[in-house]
């Protein structure tokens, strides 16, 4: 399974393209299967219908936990670093984690959870979050983790879409000096969620909560009622493992579905090879488990590989901007995996926060979630890696399950801002607008993948047609990523950003349509249009053009605040626009379509050449918007 040299990478890549089935069958042998698969791969990208390891039976938690019990029972599986550095950290060995997961799996069963049921998890970054995830997998329930920053409305939408029967949450969360009442938010969400029978509440912040009789139970009380004996449910390789909601260019977020067998194989394979994991590694991924990065590279990847994973509850800038370096120093972290936004924001604090922090344990640095600019790359390399740690700029998506294009640490020659080369099994290509392949090097186009890898999404929950339309219909026969990409003279890939109406704000994926819908919920708003613009720290900022019912001139500030509050309430604080411009009209074509190209240019501060505006219903609108740009 392990590639150790560039020549080995080239060989593995060649094999994976020439005979993908043989290649992945060999990789998959390294796992514990209750029953071997009968067919390695069946697929077409038309329906789409993708099945890996058909007929294979397994439970992913036997690979995450049980198989490590004989080899590394006392090795730390999880190191938890609390929000407050003055509080003690917690270490769970593989034996302890196995025990904990089995017990909580029994709690789930006691509360009516059965194979195939959907369970919503809305929790802070505590070890119990990983325990809840794995306990679901143990009993064959499908977990749907919702990021702790999402609003009650967003939770309700996700719960209802998947018809979840159980919610796991905690009384509250702490982030920096803020306490967030999680259970309260869940209570608000559940007003509109008829399918939820049970809420399991973990005590964390001791924030007062209202417990509803017959529905809500305490985690700790339940844990006292069960044993740690919980045989794992036998799952088919293609049974769903989890649903994770993500934003697209239209409508509400969709539930990306990953399945047990393929996801497992790809999560471990990509983790070990990209980061070149060694025994004793301490892996610190700073994402939240509520995003795919946390699923694959805090929970599943590292634990499948028998590594040690750090779960950090806090934020990079509290109590000061040296917190990441403090965590690295304290736990002797060897692999640090973070987002360009975090690097850019920490750069702003200068080098003082790095003083007196021993970062010599670091061996590999990773970047994920958005394009990394050259300045941030060099800062990371120089001040964190001290020019000794390879940087892996990993490109992938919620839909891909794991990293698809990335250097292998210390093996692939890196180039700042380039995700470099595809992993074995990944066959990228660039196409033009018409879907024609652009061959050769030194070219740009839309990034597609022509062949399935084990971690590819299988469907979108409850709406397979949406999956087909979103990913497999733009360019028939290909998986379309939604990203633009450049392939340079060396054949290296550089992701240039989304080519659809999806924003990437601080590495968080947000649809412009979603933000518009939220703004339009405000009673005083007639219509809005949202675009992204370059932002020094966040990568992209959100710029909203809003038409209001009455003249807002005298109360613009109030209206602005109200709109921000509405967006926070409908989606969550991460979707709040950075800039709001009140306008009297939007640039629409005669068929009523908003010409976003123009709005983007104005938001970028480039008002020089608006291009062809002759198809606009009222070209004068453009000048008015230009004049009022914020």
Contact set with ligand PRX (CB under 6 A): 246, 292-293, 368-371, 393-398, 419, 481-483, 495, 497-498, 504, 509
Q: How far is the CB of 541 from ligand PRX (least distance, A)?
A: 16
Of 249, 144, 209, 140, the residue nearest 498 (C-alpha): 249
Q: Which residues contact 421 (CB under 8 A, 6 or more apart)?
A: 9, 13, 405, 406, 407, 412, 491, 492, 493
Q: How far is the CB of 398 from ligand PRX (least distance, A)?
A: 3
Cβ-contact 24, 454 below 8 angstroms: yes
Q: How far is the CB of 80 from ligand PRX (least distance, A)?
A: 22
Continuous segment of H or E residues that includes residue 529: strand 525-535
Cβ-contact 587, 622 below 8 angstroms: yes
Burial of 623 (0-12, 13-18, 19+ CB in 10 A): exposed
Q: How far is the CB of 400 from ligand PRX (least distance, A)?
A: 8
| Closer to ligand PRX by Cβ: residue 82 or 539 | 539
Separation CA 560–CA 568 (nearest Å) = 12
Q: Give the chain's count of helices (H) and strands (E).
A: 19, 30
Cβ-contact 421, 407 below 8 angstroms: yes
| Closer to ligand PRX by Cβ: residue 149 or 482 | 482
Of 65, 55, 3, the residue nearest 32 (C-alpha): 65
Q: How far is the CB of 329 from ligand PRX (least distance, A)?
A: 26
Separation CA 238–CA 221 (nearest Å) = 35
Enumerate the β-bridge partners of residue 449.
428, 479
CA 411 to chain centre: 26
Cα 95 to Cα 64, 119, 320: the distances in Å are 11, 25, 35
Burial of 592 (0-12, 13-18, 19+ CB in 10 A): exposed
Q: How far is the CB of 244 from ligand PRX (least distance, A)?
A: 9
Q: How far is the CB of 276 from ligand PRX (least distance, A)?
A: 18
| Closer to ligand PRX by Cβ: residue 502 or 563 | 502
Q: How far is the CB of 178 from ligand PRX (least distance, A)?
A: 24
Cβ-contact 559, 524 below 8 angstroms: yes
Tokens of residue 399, six digits: 């839909």
Residue number with the shortest CB distance to ligand PRX? Answer: 398
| Closer to ligand PRX by Cβ: residue 294 or 425 | 294
| Closer to ligand PRX by Cβ: residue 368 or 625 | 368
| Closer to ligand PRX by Cβ: residue 270 or 398 | 398
| Closer to ligand PRX by Cβ: residue 116 or 534 | 534
Of 25, 230, 204, 39, the residue nearest 125 (C-alpha): 204
| Closer to ligand PRX by Cβ: residue 33 or 453 | 453
| Closer to ligand PRX by Cβ: residue 274 or 564 | 274
Q: How far is the CB of 180 from ligand PRX (least distance, A)?
A: 22
User: In this structure, how many other beta carbons lie within 10 angstroms of the beta carbon of residue 596?
Assistant: 17
Q: How far is the CB of 372 from ligand PRX (least distance, A)?
A: 7
| Closer to ligand PRX by Cβ: residue 103 or 143 | 143
Q: How far is the CB of 414 from ligand PRX (least distance, A)?
A: 12
Tokens of residue 498, six digits: 């989304």
- Work out the angle at residue 372's Cα, subtended by the Cα atoms of residues 369 and 374, and round it to the nearest 5 degrees: 175
The helix-helix angle for 620-627 and 596-603 (nearest 10°) equals: 20
Q: How far is the CB of 367 from ligand PRX (least distance, A)?
A: 6
Bond preceding residue 586 cis, omega within 30 of 0: no
| Closer to ligand PRX by Cβ: residue 240 or 290 | 290
Q: How far is the CB of 496 from ligand PRX (least distance, A)?
A: 8
Of 568, 455, 481, 462, the residue nearest 522 (C-alpha): 568
| Closer to ligand PRX by Cβ: residue 172 or 401 | 401
Reported in sequence order, the residue ranges of 219-313 that DSSP labels E, i.e. its strands, are: 235-236, 240-246, 254-259, 282-285, 308-312
| Closer to ligand PRX by Cβ: residue 255 or 371 | 371
Q: How far is the CB of 215 from ligand PRX (least distance, A)?
A: 32
Phi-psi domain of 427 (left: phi exceeds 0; alpha: psi -120 through 50; beta: other): beta
Cα 337 to Cα 1, 9, 442: the distances in Å are 22, 22, 29
Residue with tokens 């590292």: 302
Separation CA 573–CA 93 (nearest Å) = 35
| Closer to ligand PRX by Cβ: residue 127 or 366 | 366
Q: How far is the CB of 537 from ligand PRX (least distance, A)?
A: 16
Reported in sequence order, the residue ranges of 304-442 that DSSP labels E, i.e. its strands, are: 308-312, 335-338, 364-368, 391-394, 428-431
Tokens of residue 472, six digits: 């497999």
| Closer to ligand PRX by Cβ: residue 126 or 368 | 368
Cβ-contact 268, 486 below 8 angstroms: no
Tokens of residue 321, six digits: 């901007």
């Amino acid at each position: 399974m392990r590639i150790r040299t560039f020549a080995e990478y080239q060989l593995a890549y060649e094999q994976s393209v020439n005979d993908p089935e043989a290649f992945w069958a060999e990789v998959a042998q390294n796992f514990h299967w209750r029953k071997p698969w009968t067919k390695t791969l069946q697929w077409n990208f038309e329906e789409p219908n993708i099945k890996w390891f058909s007929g294979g039976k397994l439970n992913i938690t036997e690979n995450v936990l049980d198989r490590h019990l004989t080899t590394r029972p006392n090795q730390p599986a999880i190191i938890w670093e609390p929000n407050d550095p003055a509080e003690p950290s917690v270490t769970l060995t593989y034996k302890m984690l196995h025990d904990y997961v089995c017990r909580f799996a029994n709690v789930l069963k006691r509360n009516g959870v059965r194979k195939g049921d959907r369970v919503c998890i809305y929790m802070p970054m505590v070890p119990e979050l990983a325990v809840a995830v794995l306990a679901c997998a143990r009993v064959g329930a499908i977990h749907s983790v919702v990021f702790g920053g999402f609003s009650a409305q967003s939770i309700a939408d996700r719960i209802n879409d998947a018809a979840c029967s159980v919610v796991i949450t905690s009384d509250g969360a702490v982030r920096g000096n803020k306490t967030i009442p999680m259970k309260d938010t869940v209570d608000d969400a559940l007003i509109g969620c008829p399918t939820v029978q049970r809420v399991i509440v973990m005590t964390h912040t001791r924030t007062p909560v209202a417990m509803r009789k017959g529905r809500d139970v305490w985690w700790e009380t339940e844990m006292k009622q069960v044993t740690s004996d919980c045989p794992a449910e036998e799952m088919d390789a293609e049974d769903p493992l989890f649903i994770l909601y993500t934003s697209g260019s239209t409508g509400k977020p969709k539930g990306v579905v990953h399945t047990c067998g393929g996801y497992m194989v790809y999560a471990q394979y990509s983790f070990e090879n990209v980061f070149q994991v060694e025994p004793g590694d301490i892996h610190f991924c700073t994402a939240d488990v509520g995003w795919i990065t946390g699923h694959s590279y805090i929970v599943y990847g590292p634990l499948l590989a028998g590594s040690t994973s750090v779960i950090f509850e806090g934020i990079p800038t509290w109590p000061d901007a040296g917190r990441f370096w403090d965590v690295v120093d304290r736990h002797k972290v060897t692999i640090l995996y973070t987002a360009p936004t975090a690097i850019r924001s920490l750069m702003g604090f200068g080098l003082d926060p790095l003083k007196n922090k021993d970062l010599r344990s670091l061996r590999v640095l990773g970047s994920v979630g958005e394009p990394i600019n050259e300045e941030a790359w060099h800062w990371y390399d120089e001040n964190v890696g001290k020019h000794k740690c390879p940087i892996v700029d990993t490109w992938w998506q919620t839909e891909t399950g794991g990293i698809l294009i990335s250097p292998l640490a210390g093996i692939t020659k890196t180039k700042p801002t380039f995700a470099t080369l595809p992993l074995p099994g990944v066959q990228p290509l660039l196409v033009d607008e018409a879907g024609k392949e652009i061959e050769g090097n030194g070219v740009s186009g839309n990034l597609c993948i022509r062949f399935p890898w084990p971690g590819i999404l299988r469907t979108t929950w409850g709406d397979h047609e949406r999956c087909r339309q979103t990913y497999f219909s733009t360019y028939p026969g290909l998986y379309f990523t939604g990203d633009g990409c450049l392939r340079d003279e060396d054949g290296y890939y550089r992701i240039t950003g989304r080519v659809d109406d999806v924003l990437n704000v601080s590495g968080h994926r947000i649809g412009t349509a979603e933000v518009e819908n939220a703004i339009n919920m405000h009673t005083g708003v007639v219509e809005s249009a949202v675009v992204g613009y370059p932002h020094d720290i966040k990568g992209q900022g959100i710029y909203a053009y809003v038409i209001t019912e009455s003249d807002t001139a005298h109360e613009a500030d109030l209206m602005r605040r109200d709109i921000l509050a509405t967006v926070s309430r409908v989606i969550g604080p991460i979707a709040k626009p950075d800039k709001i411009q009140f306008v009297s009209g939007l640039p629409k074509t005669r068929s009523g379509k908003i010409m976003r190209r123009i709005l983007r240019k104005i938001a970028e501060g480039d008002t020089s050449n608006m291009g062809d505006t002759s198809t606009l219903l009222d070209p004068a609108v453009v000048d008015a918007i230009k004049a009022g740009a914020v």
